[in-house]
Every structure is written in C-alpha cells, then in structure tokens.
Structure 1
Amino acid sequence: MSTYMAKNEEVERNWYVVDAEDKTLGRISSKIAQYLRGKHKPTFTPHVDMGDFVIVVNAEKIKLSGNKWDQKKYYRHSNYIGGIKEMTYKELLAKDPEFIIEKAVKGMLPGNKLGRKMIKKLKVYSGDKHPHKAQKPVKLEL
C-alpha cells in the first residue's frame, strides 16, 4: 500500500474566522499557521498548499505577556548606511495593528514559494467587521 499524496486539484479550502480579542500573540499565531498550512487535515501533504483561508478580527486587542509591549522591538532597514529603524510593539500597535499578527504568522510558515502562497490566505482586520461574508466563514475557537 502506498502513501496518499494529495494533488492541487483535490484540495478543498474552507474559510474560518478567528477573534483575536484577549488572546496571546504567539499561541494564536501558531494555530493560525497550522490552519494556513493545512496540518489540521488528515490528507496533509508537505509539498502541496493544503491550507484554508483564515480571517482574523479584533487585531488591535491582542495580548502580549510580560513587558513585551515596551521591550520587544521591530526592526527594519532602508539599505543605506545608518538606516536602521526600530519601533516598539506599543508604537506598532498604534500605527498598524494588523502587521503584528501578519509578521508573527509569516515567521511560522515555510520560507519558500509555498510559504509566500500560504500567507496570502491570511486576512487580518483591526475591527470586528470583515468583507468576507459571501464566503460563509465558520467561527474557529483557538
């Protein structure tokens, strides 16, 4: 008996809604990454994008443990000499709360073409409204 390998045409994708209110960033991000990758399905195949679409609402109400709001920093560089910029997560929350969840989930996905395809199925919104009612998403408790 041979091992079952799914094909791209056989994949059935579902839509899920996750409420991030009062959830810890790392714990919710790892669960979202599992659903985006498709590891929750019994037909998981590593080289095929098996994942589902995940909608995250209330991104501005995410929690971090300890003093991470002030101590944890996000860095970016402009590729010019001395062009490093840093921002605490508290400043980042005020500026772009969706980016915090997107960056955490992206770091938990593969760093190749497949991972870049998977991250496109993540939709993050700062409020409790989202424009994906037509897809009939199912509420997912994490």
Structure 2
Amino acid sequence: MSKTIHRAIDEIDRRWHLIDASGQVLGRLATEVAVLLRGKHKPIFSPHLDTGDFVVIVNAERVVLTGNKLKDKLYHRHSGYPGGLKTTTAEQMFRSHPTRVLEAAVRGMLPRTKLGDALFRKLKVYAGPTHPHASQQPIPFVKTTAKEG
C-alpha cells in the first residue's frame, strides 16, 4: 500500500516568474499564468494546497486579442443597486485600465474559493516594462509547448 506524502507550507519552494506579455494572445497567456499560480507545473501539486509560484507580468498593455474581441468582448460589474449593471467593452477597458483585462482573464481560471483568492494575490500585473520586484530576482519565463514539430 502506498502512502500519500503531504508537504508542509514552509517546505514549498516558491519562485518568482517574470513574463513579458507583449505580442502574446490573452487567453493563452492567462492559462500559462494560472498553471504557475496554482503550482500544477510542480510534482508536489495538491489541489487543496497553495503550491504555486509568484508571477510578475510586464507590458500588459501590449497583449493581443484575436478576432473581433476588442469590440465584442464585454466586461460586466454591478453596484448592488437596482439598475446598477455597468458594461464595458475590451477596447474601453484597455484604454482606461490595461492591467485589468489580463487580471480578469487569469482570475476566471482560478478556483472561486479562499484558495483562489490567495492564489490571485500572488499575481502582479504592470502595464509598462518596469516593475518594483527586482529584489525578488524573478526568473524570465520561457514558454513551453506540448507539441513540437
């Protein structure tokens, strides 16, 4: 009979990844980021533990949306009052808050629990090329492809 080994929180090795979003497709980038935040790329992954890494994304304003999504994709928010539904297109969102587009895409791929909230706090998104996390020495993330050839 095999025994399941669970890691203690202080035994989990957390790394910082730096991702340049310029020229990358929004959804494909968001899936890679969600995998890093959850820790699914590690052999010690466990669905009920936070085994993920920190992710810093720069140049979020240069992310690409394919097709007509710039005009067709809608973001909704509600104030909680009757008639308080506000709708914004992706184009308007890029103009006013370019980081929120990427944050919303990644947030939608994380669990809707306390664990998902904790994972989302490890995501740092910046519109330009600079970030204040140089002291953590983030490792530039290299995209890996499942199929080659």
TM-score, scaled relative to structure 2: 0.93
2:9 maps to 8
Bigger drift between 40-49 and 51-60 goes to: 40-49
Structure 1 ranges of 4+ moved more than 3 A: none
Distance between the aligned counterparts of 1:29 and 1:125, measured in 2? 14
Bigger drift between 74-83 and 122-131 goes to: 74-83
8 Å Cα contact 1:21/1:61 also seen in 2:
yes
CA RMSD in angstroms comes to 0.8
Amino acid at match of 2:13: E
Q: C-alpha deviations, 1:23-62, integer Å up to 9, x for none? A: 0110000000000000000111111100000000000000
Q: When the two structures are aligned, how many residues end up with a matched partner?
A: 142
8 Å Cα contact 1:6/1:45 also seen in 2:
no
1:1-142 mapped onto 2 (5 Å cutoff): 1-142=2-143
Q: C-alpha deviations, 1:66-86, integer Å up to 9, x for none? A: 000000111111122211111
* Unmatched runs of 5 consecutive residues or more in structure 2: 144-149
8 Å Cα contact 1:37/1:118 also seen in 2:
yes
TM-score, scaled relative to structure 1: 0.97
Distance between the aligned counterparts of 2:79 and 2:4, measured in 1? 47
8 Å Cα contact 1:7/1:48 also seen in 2:
no
Identity over aligned pairs, percent: 46
